[in-house]
Amino acid sequence: MNEFLSVSIRLVLTGLLAFALTPLIKKLAFKINAVDQPNERRINKLPMPSAGGLAIFLTFVIATLFIFPDVIPFDFAWRLIVSSLAVVATGLLDDIFELSPRQKLVGITIGALLAFFVLGARIDIINLFSSTEIDFGFLSLPLTLLWIIALTNAINLIDGLDGLATGVSMIALAAIGIVGYIAAASGAVASQLPITIFVLIFCSAGFLPYNFNPAKIYLGDTGALFLGFMIAVLSLQGLKNATLVSLITPLIILGVPITDTVFAIIRRLLNKQPISTADQMHLHHRLLSLGFTHRGAVLMIYGLAILFSCIAIMYSFASTLANIFLIIALLFAVELFVELIGLSGSNRQPLINALKYVGNKAYRDKRVAEKKIEKIKNKVKKES
């Protein structure tokens, strides 16, 4: 009980430290020109200080090294900090100078390499079933890099509304922390892992009051890349000898940013656009276009993130058969939701169109007639 109280008090102090540091980072952002200027792609109407994630990072460094030295081993803390430093520096440079996507990718890749070689965060072996084991061997490095780069960018892509990326990251971290706590109790992962995760949550919680709508400072790429990187790396700490369930669980927890990223890639490929092209079709954009207020859209996405996190926690305890049905139902629900809000693009509703065929002869006949007319038009065009 005394240990629990001690950790709780120090977590609160960590949150208060982040809360106190954020106004100082806001002043620093203006001095170093880490400012988001209004344009057609951004929500803000006035210049807004960015790089707010620097407050989260600095608080995390102070907390791990000086507030929790007896709980988080120094050897683990400095390796984690050094690995993340490359990503934070990349984000800060982008907030000041607006780096190209390729330059940001280089910075994230350097951080991922440091995480692999310095921290030892990697995917080595996957136990598909009790008797089936896959050792990735030399593929461990590219798979780990892909994991870290993909999840880091997924968080960065949803950072489009006040408090969105910060809140979604906190929800994801909380779910990973709960799963990590249960795994640590059984000896599956190191005991410092859940504490490290909750330290990061309280660092973010201290920053969120300044970042929630109406925001006084933006998270910036400094914070979005840092939080995405930390989620990716910390979730890897339990995947050195992972089961299929422990591999899928973080992906479900990050269902909101991953769904947004996957459908953004699909949408751009279908439109024959470069994957790095920015557009106004992300999840938060679609919710705003449907009439949601700024806060309403953010809270809606928070709710979706909580739903994914609860499903992920359930997934960790369900039987194999139940997990299969759970994944199928989840994929069906995600696709239906995506089509309903138009995330995949206008007039792209394969599942809804398929469902309309069921028991609807008039609709089927109409679609058949439309296809015949389209074929005739195409034939006439070719002949002319």
Structure tokens at 295: 């806060």
Q: How confident is the model at residue 357 (pLDDT cuts 50, 70, 90)?
A: low
Using the CB atoms, write b or e for 322-359: b if 16+ within 10 Å.
ebeebeeebeeebbeebbeebbbbeebbeeeeeeeeee
Q: 236 pLDDT exceeds 80?
A: yes
pLDDT tens for residues 63-107? 999 999 989 999 999 999 999 999 999 999 999 999 998 999 999
Q: Is 156 annotated as a binding residue?
A: yes
Indicate the residue type of 366: K
Give the CA count within 13 Å in the CB-facing half-sphere of 24: 10
Task: Name the DSSP letter for residue 137.
Answer: G
- Type of residue numbered 161: L
Lowest-confidence segment of 159-168, 173-182, 288-297, 360-369 by average pLDDT: 360-369
Sign of the torsion angle spanned by Cα atoms 97, 101, 106, 108: positive
Structure letter (DSSP) for residue 316: T
Does 162 carry a binding-site annotation? no
Say yes or no to pLDDT of 35 above 80.
yes
Torsion of CA 338, 341, 344, 347, to 10 degrees: 120
Give the percent of the chain with pLDDT over 70. Answer: 87
CA atoms of 301 and 337, how far apart (whole Å) = 12
Which pLDDT score, from 0 to 100, does residue 111 have?
97
Q: How confident is the model at residue 203 (pLDDT cuts 50, 70, 90)?
A: very high
Query: For residue 317, what pLDDT band results from cuts at 50, 70 and 90?
Result: confident
Q: Which two tokens stand for residue 12?
A: 């609160």
DSSP notation for 220-255: HHHHHHHHHHHHHHHHHTT-TEEEHHHHHHHHHHTH
Nearest to 231 by CA among 258, 209, 207: 258
The span from the CA of 68 to the CA of 86, in Å, is 23
Q: Which residue has tokens 């034939």?
A: 379
Q: Give me the pLDDT at residue 150, please.
A: 93
> Which pLDDT value is given to residue 301?
92
Q: What is the mean pLDDT of residues 299-312?
A: 91
**Domain extents in the chain:** 2-348, 356-383
pLDDT band at 31 (very low <50, low <70, confident <90, very high): very high
Alpha-carbon gap, residue 112 to 119, rounded angstroms: 10
pLDDT grade for 47, boundaries at 50, 70 and 90:
confident
CA–CA separation, 105 and 366 (whole Å): 48
